[in-house]
């Protein structure tokens, strides 16, 4: 198998997140009411701004993690999966992706900006192929329904729903990453999915 040359995006600096939080808190302190206001009333804008700062920190944390992985989670719902890349399959095949379990019909989304095409065939069932603007290609197998026609898409755009078409045992999305869009070059997506798929429950 050729060596993988997956294109990574440089992660944002944690200092940026900290700075954003500090700016919001300092702003809240400057906006406190002047003398004469009750202590409870005076604390309201500070509490509100600290909450906004916390929300902003969480958002930035997600951006940093997604930047490290280079993708977002392909399933926009609660998922369950493990590192099954390379496991044996029927007919002497080797598993070349990660099977992401979820409920039926949940949204599957574009992991990067790019162009999608829809195909049906054999073991993969209904499939979506996302040719990313990053030069890599992302394969989604066993989908239930396509959402929209083949087209240019933005990261996070819904492209299909989860199902069990083709040779699938239970509801799941088989997800593959092909560096440089080479169909014969595939890398294990588990580490990236482990970073970005946060709404996750243990495999039962």
Tally of domains within the chain: 2
For CA atoms 97, 101, 104, 106, the dihedral sign is: negative
* Residue 171 belongs to a domain: yes
Same domain, 61 and 114: no
Inform me whether the pLDDT recorded for 12 exceeds 70: no
At 178-201, the pLDDT tens digits run 999 998 999 999 999 999 998 888
Residue 83 domain flag: no
Query: Does 4 map to a domain?
Result: no
pLDDT digits (tens, 9 = 90+) for 132-145: 999 999 999 999 99
Residues 140, 65 within the same domain: no
The answer to whether residue 78 is domain-embedded is no
Residue-wise pLDDT for 33-84, tens only, equals: 554 555 656 566 667 777 787 777 766 666 676 667 799 999 999 999 988 8
> Chain-centre distance of CA 183, in angstroms?
22
Residues 56 and 103 in one domain: no
Instruction: State the pLDDT confidence band at 103, using cuts at 50, 70 and 90.
Output: very high
pLDDT of 97 reads 87
Q: Is residue 70 a contact partner of residue 134, using CB atoms and an 8 Å limit?
A: yes
Whether the pLDDT of residue 21 is over 80: the answer is no
Same domain for 103 and 187: yes
In a domain? residue 201: no
In a domain, 50, yes or no: yes
> Do both 94 and 59 map to the same domain?
no
Alpha-carbon span 184 to 204, nearest angstrom: 32
Q: What is the CATH number of the domain that holds 155?
A: 2.70.70.10
pLDDT at position 75, please? 97
Q: How many helices (H) and strands (E) does the chain have?
A: 3, 8
Domain membership of residue 39 (yes or no) is yes
Is 50 exceeded by the pLDDT of residue 90?
yes
First to last CA, the chain: 32
Clarify whether residues 105 and 18 are in a common domain: no
Tokens of 14: 């944690």
Residues 178 and 118 both lie in one domain: yes
Q: What predicted TM-score, i.e. pTM, was given to this entire model?
A: 0.70
Same-domain check for residues 96 and 184 = yes
* Residues 109 and 138 reside in one and the same domain: yes
Residue 161 CA from chain centroid, whole number: 15
Is residue 117, in this structure, part of any structural domain at all? yes
135 and 170 belong to one structural domain? yes
Contact status, residue 162 vs residue 127, Cβ threshold 8 Å: no
Backbone phi, then psi, for 104, in 5-degree steps?
-65, 140
Segments forming the whole domain that contains residue 129: 90-196
Are residues 151 and 119 located together in one domain of the fold? yes
Contact status, residue 170 vs residue 164, Cβ threshold 8 Å: yes
């Amino acid at each position: 198998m050729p060596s993988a040359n997956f294109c990574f995006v440089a992660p944002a600096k944690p200092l940026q997140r900290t700075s954003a939080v500090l700016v919001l808190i300092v702003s809240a302190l400057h906006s406190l009411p002047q003398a004469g206001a009750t202590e409870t009333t005076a604390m309201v804008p500070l509490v509100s701004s600290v909450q906004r700062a916390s929300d902003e920190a969480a958002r930035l944390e997600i951006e940093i993690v997604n930047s490290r992985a280079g993708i977002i989670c392909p399933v926009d719902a609660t998922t369950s999966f493990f590192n099954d890349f390379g496991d044996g399959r029927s007919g002497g095949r080797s598993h070349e992706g990660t099977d992401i379990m979820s409920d039926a019909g949940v949204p599957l989304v574009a992991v990067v900006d790019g162009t999608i095409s829809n195909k049906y065939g054999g073991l993969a069932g209904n499939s979506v192929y996302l040719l990313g603007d990053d030069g890599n290609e992302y394969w989604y197998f066993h989908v239930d329904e396509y959402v929209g026609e083949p087209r240019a898409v933005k990261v996070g755009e819904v492209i299909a729903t989860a199902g069990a078409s083709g040779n699938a045992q239970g509801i799941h999305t088989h997800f593959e990453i092909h560096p440089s869009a080479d169909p014969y070059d595939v890398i294990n997506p588990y580490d990236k999915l482990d970073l970005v798929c946060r709404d996750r429950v243990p495999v039962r």
